């Protein structure tokens, strides 16, 4: 597959109502993953480094319990973001998340991996952008960090809950372009064409060093407990510190599950 295959312009519309209605499948995904993850023999093990998990807009720590628990069983030291329900970004929240990243780095003496779901992935990317030397890698799950924010089913609610100059500045064209810019740290953007909340086109990265897009079959509400997504996340986190290679479904033991699109530049 060519580096630009499947990566069209992100300025699209929100998912159709039919796609949104199919989000009910998340319950089936959770049940299937709960059974499939009982035996961890075939799963890649972690090296004990810290992993910070950030929930999506309107979600809280309960939404990431399964994901954090699964990664903890694999040997990672997982942490919730400590801010309850995600109601949107603020200047105070941005500062507090950077402080949390530094706290975890000081506690373990090792760079922190950041896993962000939906809007949480946008936060994770900006944390890594501000503090790259303290960040091991960033993994986003259906995070709309490119294109126009109106290409999501959550945009109207976000605008209702977040008003004022700070929010207006966040969505200025220059700010949008800055958030889409590549990071210094390894970055994996996981997306799904079956996402019923966020346009998948807004969740893929442009070509850059140590940057990749990986397609899975998850719903938006199910990324954190969708089996193939869990396998991709586990594989990425298990890479030895200081090394990085694009995701290889065959090497990860899931050749018929996820599709990796390497978007490295050079």
Give, rounded to a whole angstrom, the gap between the first and last alpha carbons of the chain: 16
How many other C-beta atoms can be found within 10 angstroms of the C-beta atom of residue 210? 17
- Angle value at C-alpha 116, between 237 and 253, nearest 5 degrees: 35
> Which of 113 and 170 is assigned the larger pLDDT?
113
Q: What is the pLDDT of residue 12?
A: 58
Task: Name, in order, each residue with C-beta under 8 angstroms of 124's C-beta and a sequence gap of 6 or more.
Answer: 52, 54, 114, 115, 116, 138, 139, 140, 143
Write the pLDDT tens digit of every residue in 114-132.
999 999 999 999 999 999 9
% of residues, the chain, pLDDT over 90: 69
Model confidence at 265, pLDDT cuts 50, 70, 90, reads very low
pLDDT of 259 reads 60
Residue 6: what pLDDT?
41
pLDDT tens sequence across 42-88: 999 999 999 999 999 999 999 999 999 999 999 999 999 999 999 98
Return the closest-CA partner of residue 116 out of 73, 72, 81.
Answer: 81
Domains of the chain by start residue, with CATH? 17-40+47-262 (3.40.50.1820)
Q: Which two tokens stand for residue 179?
A: 């958030």
222-250 pLDDT tens trace: 999 999 999 999 999 999 999 999 999 98
- Which of the pair, 262 or 23, is modelled with greater confidence? 23
Q: How many CA atoms lie within 13 A of 158 on its CB side?
A: 21
Q: Are the C-beta atoms of 115 and 67 separated by less than 8 Å?
A: yes
Residue 266 has pLDDT above 80, yes or no: no
List the single range of 1-10, 53-62, 159-168, 220-229 with lowest mean pLDDT. 1-10
Checking 163-168 for CB contacts under 8 A at 24+ apart, the result is 166/90, 166/91, 167/88, 167/89
Q: Given pLDDT bands bounded at 50, 70 and 90, which one contains residue 164?
A: confident
Between CA 91 and CA 119 the distance in angstroms is 15
């Amino acid at each position: 597959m060519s580096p630009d295959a499947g990566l069209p312009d992100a300025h699209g519309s929100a998912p159709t109502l039919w796609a949104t209605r199919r989000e009910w499948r998340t319950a089936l995904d959770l049940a299937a993953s709960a059974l499939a993850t009982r035996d961890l023999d075939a799963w890649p093990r972690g090296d004990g480094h810290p992993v910070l998990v950030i929930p999506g807009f309107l979600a809280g720590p309960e939404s990431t319990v399964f994901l954090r628990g699964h990664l903890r069983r694999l040997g990672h030291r997982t942490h919730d973001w400590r801010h309850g329900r995600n109601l949107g970004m603020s200047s105070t929240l941005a500062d507090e998340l950077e402080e949390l990243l530094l706290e975890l780095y000081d506690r373990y003496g090792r760079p922190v991996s950041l896993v962000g779901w939906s809007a949480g992935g946008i936060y994770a990317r900006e944390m890594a952008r501000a503090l790259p030397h303290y960040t091991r890698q960033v993994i986003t799950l259906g995070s709309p960090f490119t294109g126009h924010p109106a290409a999501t089913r959550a945009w109207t609610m976000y605008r209702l809950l977040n008003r004022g100059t700070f929010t207006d500045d966040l969505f200025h064209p220059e700010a949008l372009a800055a958030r889409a810019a590549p990071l210094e740290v390894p970055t994996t953007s996981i997306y799904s064409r079956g996402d019923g909340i966020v346009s998948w086109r807004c969740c893929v990265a442009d070509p850059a060093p140590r940057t990749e897009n990986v397609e899975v079959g998850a719903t938006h509400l199910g990324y954190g407990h969708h089996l193939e997504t869990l396998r991709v996340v586990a594989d990425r986190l298990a890479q030895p510190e200081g090394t990085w290679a694009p995701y290889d479904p065959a090497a990860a033991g899931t050749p018929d599950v996820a599709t990796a699109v390497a978007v490295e530049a050079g």
